[in-house]
Amino acid sequence: MKDRAGRFETAEGGTIFLDEVGEIPLDIQNKLLRVLQDKRFERVGDDRTRRANVRVVAATNRNLKKEALRAKFREDLFYRLNVFSDPSSAAARADG
């Protein structure tokens, strides 16, 4: 099998854009939270832990705060991602 860099490795030292982050399944949200908190990850099928030095920009059309309250999105991941929120977004306008 060919050794191939994943998204976080490719974005090393730069920015990774996660589109439709509200669609990520709960089990994958757990892994994403680990990368954001610990800045570490493992490649699929690898046991070596790697470091991730990336800035994350995430977007969604869902209201993640409501999704977190309904246990459809990890609340801790919501707060980790919600450092800056665009109040002009569709989800924010739906709250108003």
**pLDDT band per the 50, 70, 90 thresholds, residue 93:** low
- pLDDT, mean of residues 53-68: 93
30-52: per-residue pLDDT in tens? Answer: 999 999 999 998 888 888 899 98
pLDDT at 83 over 60: yes
Count of C-beta atoms within a 10 Å radius of residue 86: 9
Residue 52: both structure tokens together:
């991730």
**pLDDT band per the 50, 70, 90 thresholds, residue 91:** low
Average pLDDT across the chain, whole number: 87
Distances (CA, A) of 48 to 9, 13, 96: 13, 20, 46
pLDDT at 61 over 80: yes
